Structure formats: structure tokens, C-alpha cells
Structure 1
Amino acid sequence: MSAPEFSSASARALLKGTAILVIAVGLSACSTTKKPLTTGSIPSEPAVTRSLDGMNATQLAAAQKEIGEAYEKNPKDRATGLQYADVLRMNGRNDQALAVMQQVAINYPSDREVLAAYGKAQAAAGQFEQALQTIGRAQTPDRPDWRLISAQGAILDQLGRSQEARERYRKALDLQPNEPSVLSNLGMSYLLAKDLKTAETYLQSASEQPGADSGVRQNLALAVGLQGRFAEAEAIARKELSPAQAEANVAYLRGILSQQNSWQKLAAKDGGLDNNTN
């Protein structure tokens, strides 16, 4: 049986989780504080002080319970609300994360970082137009934030407005040259458009920048794997990670690459498949 016809819309649907991950990268450090930040955190005393990044499913479930209990005790606490929404999203509970962020935004309607996190929650829940508006409210023309500009680009890509998205990424790069998360977003934009070779070029550049994280390398592994270089893709997915994290990344990569063989058809159209493909 032949693989089904593969379209850019199909690519956006299958890559939705990855693209949302990129949005999270773009908004994870909007604070101007010099204190170390966890994913989506703010400079305060959160219920869980260690980073949520790198936690396995069991640890994230425990963190959600702990932060949730703190949130129930004081639902108006800004720090706890932001971190609770973040851990809910990491556990796949996007609708609940959005509901939490709605309450935080009601209590802090003019807070730039709260608006940014609210926009991230809206995007994760699939409310892309609303997310664009919210993130736009968080932006200030006199002090433009490259993270917010890049996040707008990632949302525009999800809406199929790739040209506008790339304009945002390049504007963000003007403000923050060689920023790996923005280069990664730009690479993913070309991947969504099925231009795998250009996507790999930007993602390779992103992975080589100081500060590139595992999310950037996972995107590079995806672009490489879509071209049929599966052994190379797995090697990238495993790089600089703990064994548990590496296995999770490889499992995610294999799951995407195996979906209905559509990825192989996409890669074949770009002439990227080699003899390792079955």
C-alpha cells in the first residue's frame, strides 16, 4: 500500500508538538533578572527550586503534585502560578495550564512576563490567533524582546504564514545574533515547508552555538532523519544527554519518523533518502 499524499498541512499537524517545543524555548527566559531560571520560571521562590528540564515522567508528576498543592494554598502567587502552568504543560495538560495562566493574567494584567507565559499556554492549547495577540501585548516597541518576536514567528508558522514567520525570526536575529533558539525556529520553518536541506543548514548552525540545548539538537535530529540518515539522527538525539533522556529522545524521533511512512515520502521528494531506508 502506497503512502498517503503528504502536504504542508500534514507536516504542521505531525510536527505540532515539536513546534510548540520551539515556542517554549523562545519564551523560557523572558525575565531580565540575572538569577538562574528554570523553564518558564521567574525570580522568586517556587515550590520546586530545581529545573524542570531533564526530569523524567515520574519526576514531573511529583513536581506537578507539589507545585499544585502550593498553588491551591495561594492561587494568586505569581511565581507558583507560572511554574504550575509550566509543569502542567510539560505533562501534556495544556487545557489546565491555560486555565491556570488565565487566572494569573487576571491578577497581573500588565505584567510582561505573565503575558508572555499566557501566550505560550494559549499556543500550546492550539489557540494560535489569541496567542499572537497576547504576546503582542507583552511586547514594547521601545524595548523589543527578541524572545517574543521569535515566539510570534513560531506561532505564525503553525498558522501556515511562513513568510511572516521568517521575517520575525530574522528580526529576532538582528536583535540577538546567532541565538540558537531563533536559528532553530528558522530551521523548523523550512522543515515545515519541506525544504529539508535548508532546514538542516540552520539547525546545524543552531546546534553549534554556545547555549544550544537538547531541544535544538532534537530538531536537528528530526531534519537529518527525514532525509533518511537515521543512524546519524539517532547519534544526534543521544548527544550530551543522560541515558534516560537519550532513550526518550530517540523514541520520540522514531515515533515521528515511522508515522505512516509519510516522512519517507516527504524526504524522497527532496531527494534526500539514502540506501539505509527500508
Structure 2
Amino acid sequence: MRRLARPALPVLVCVGLLTACGTRQDAAEGPRDPDAASRLRVAAAAEATGQSDIALSLYAAAASAEPANPEAQARFTRALMRAGNLAEAEAVLDRARRRAPDNATLLELLGRLRLRAGAPEAALAPFDQVLAASPSHAGALDGRGVALDMLGRHAEAQDSYRAALAASPAAIAPANNLGLSLLLSGRAEEARAILMPLSRRPGAPPRVATNLLLARAAAGETEAQRQLLGDGATRAELELLLRELGARGLATGDAAP
């Protein structure tokens, strides 16, 4: 008998297989719809391989199949936020919160949405609500720090990021945001000391390298200044760039892992 080679199946094919997997009894009864957990796992795999459209579709299906599942609703909301569909993300989150108004994950997402909308003062309330019940919630501490930074309250923000790191030492987001906060408060050398090793960590997002470049430039490194603004850049131009990119990075930063 000729031996058949086993093909490598991309995530796209695996999506189709979700409804076909099961026991012999399942096969006799016909294919079953995948549960939300299965869809979420495949959606995460699709997203990791750059298939964001497929991932978004799977997150939507999981959320639709289990409207009372806060995790499914949260994952769909995050995917919509990453895609820039903030109005739809807000609608999904509003529906989810009507079912689970005190859910910590959904409250944190509400704060993140308000940050994206440029409303840091309003974002503090849901973060504080989470922290009242769970003072060491790393995501809420990180989000609260971002809100405080956007309000210009850098020292308080840095305390919040450090508390997030104490709760979750391996988290990249609060470490990155702490470095950016130090940079925005004029402490470029300290920012560089945090961001340099962070940029070498596996899984560090590109914004960490961008923030490190900003910190190096602010610390007086000529090559970093040239990379950012070209030859002959003035200090005023550098400070303007720091403010603009810093504010944008804070507003769009992801939650702590």
C-alpha cells in the first residue's frame, strides 16, 4: 500500500475541522458545533499567525454562541479594539456588562476603551472599581497608571505601574509603560535602563523598541536622535515628538498580560 504524506494544515483549514472533530459516537450523530473555548483557542492561533480577519470572525462566533460568557465577550471586545472598531467594541462590552456588571475583566476593558476615546478621567472609575475588590489586579493597576499619565500625574502613574509589576513581575505592558512614564517626566536615563533589557525579552512588542529609541534620543544619544528626526534636529523638535508619540503610546497600549 502506498504511504500518503501528511500535509501541513494552516489555521484556516483547522477552522473548518472544528465541527468535524469528536468521538465515533459524535460522527454517527453528525458534526457538533464547536464550543466557545474551541473557537477562542483557534482564534488565538489565527491571530498569532497574522490571520486577523479569521480570528475576528471566530471571536464574533464565540461571543454570539455564549452571550453570558464574560471571557468570550472580552476576547471579542479586545479583537475589535485591535482592529480599530471602537464603536462596535463599546456596543459588545455594554451588552456584556448588562449581564455581568461587576466582572473585573469587563470593567478593565471599559477603562481601556475610555483611554482609547481620550477620556482618562472617566477611565479611572472602572479601574478603581476593580482594585477595590482586587488590589493586586495587574491589568487594572497598569490601566490606572496609563490614565494618570495621560492626566499628567506621572509620579502616581509610576507607583501604579510598580504595583502592577509587583503583582505580575513578568508582565511587559506595565514595565514598558513605566519606562515611557519616566521618559515623559524627564527621567530619560532611568527610562533607558528599564527599556533596554525589556526590548530584548521574547515577545516584547515593537512599541518597546520605539520607546527605547525615544529614551536614547532624550538621553542625548546622537544616533538615536538622527534615526528619529534626521540630521540637524533641535531639542524643541525632539520634545514635541516625545510628547506626541508618548501620548499615543499610552492611549493605545495593551493590557498587561
Match of 2:195 in 1: 237
Match of 1:218 in 2: 176
Inter-CA distance 147–193: structure 2 relative to 1 (3 Å threshold): same
**Which AA in structure 1 matches 2:147?**
S
Match of 1:175 in 2: 133
**Which AA in structure 2 matches 1:144?**
D
Q: Pick from 223, 227, 242 the counterpart of residue 264 of structure 1.
A: 242
**Which AA in structure 2 matches 1:79?**
A
Q: Does 1:196 align with 2:154?
A: yes
Stretch deviating more after TM superposition (252-261 or 230-239): 252-261
Inter-CA distance 135–153: structure 2 relative to 1 (3 Å threshold): same
Superposition map of 1:47-86 within 5 A = 66-74=10-18, 76-77=33-34, 78-86=36-44
Match of 1:187 in 2: 145
Measured in 1, the distance between the counterparts of 2:46 and 2:162 equals 31
Name the count of aligned residue pairs.
203
Cα shift readout 1:232-270 (whole Å, capped 9, x = no counterpart): 223323557865556967524235667663343569xxx
Q: Is the 8 A contact 2:110 2:126 kept in 1?
A: yes
Q: In the TM superposition, what is the alpha-carbon distance from 1:185 to its structure 2 partner?
A: 0.3
Q: In the TM superposition, what is the alpha-carbon distance from 1:155 to its structure 2 partner?
A: 0.3
Superposition map of 1:1-20 within 5 A = none
Q: Pick from 112, 115, 130 the counterpart of residue 154 of structure 1.
A: 112
Q: Is the 8 A contact 2:74 2:109 kept in 1?
A: no
Q: TM-score, normalised by structure 1?
A: 0.60
Q: In the TM superposition, what is the alpha-carbon distance from 1:168 to its structure 2 partner?
A: 0.8
Measured in 2, the distance between the counterparts of 1:250 and 1:129 equals 28
Measured in 2, the distance between the counterparts of 1:220 and 1:82 equals 31
Give the share of equivalent positions with the same residue, in percent. Answer: 20
Inter-CA distance 161–83: structure 2 relative to 1 (3 Å threshold): same
Structure number with higher relative contact order (C-alpha < 8 Å, ≥ 6 residues apart): 1
Inter-CA distance 68–167: structure 2 relative to 1 (3 Å threshold): same
Match of 1:14 in 2: none
Q: In the TM superposition, what is the alpha-carbon distance from 1:114 to its structure 2 partner?
A: 1.4
Structure with more of its chain in helix, by fraction: 2
Measured in 2, the distance between the counterparts of 1:226 and 1:113 equals 34
Flag structure 2 segments of 5+ consecutive residues without an equivalent: 1-8, 20-32, 218-227, 230-237, 246-257
Q: TM-score, normalised by structure 2?
A: 0.64
Q: Is the 8 A contact 2:70 2:100 kept in 1?
A: no
Cα shift readout 1:153-177 (whole Å, capped 9, x = no counterpart): 1101111222221111111111211
Partner-residue secondary structure (3-state), 1:74: helix
Q: In the TM superposition, what is the alpha-carbon distance from 1:194 to its structure 2 partner?
A: 4.0
What is the CA RMSD across the aligned residues, in angstroms?
A: 3.4
Match of 1:35 in 2: none
**Which AA in structure 1 matches 2:118?**
G
Inter-CA distance 265–188: structure 2 relative to 1 (3 Å threshold): closer
Inter-CA distance 210–113: structure 2 relative to 1 (3 Å threshold): closer
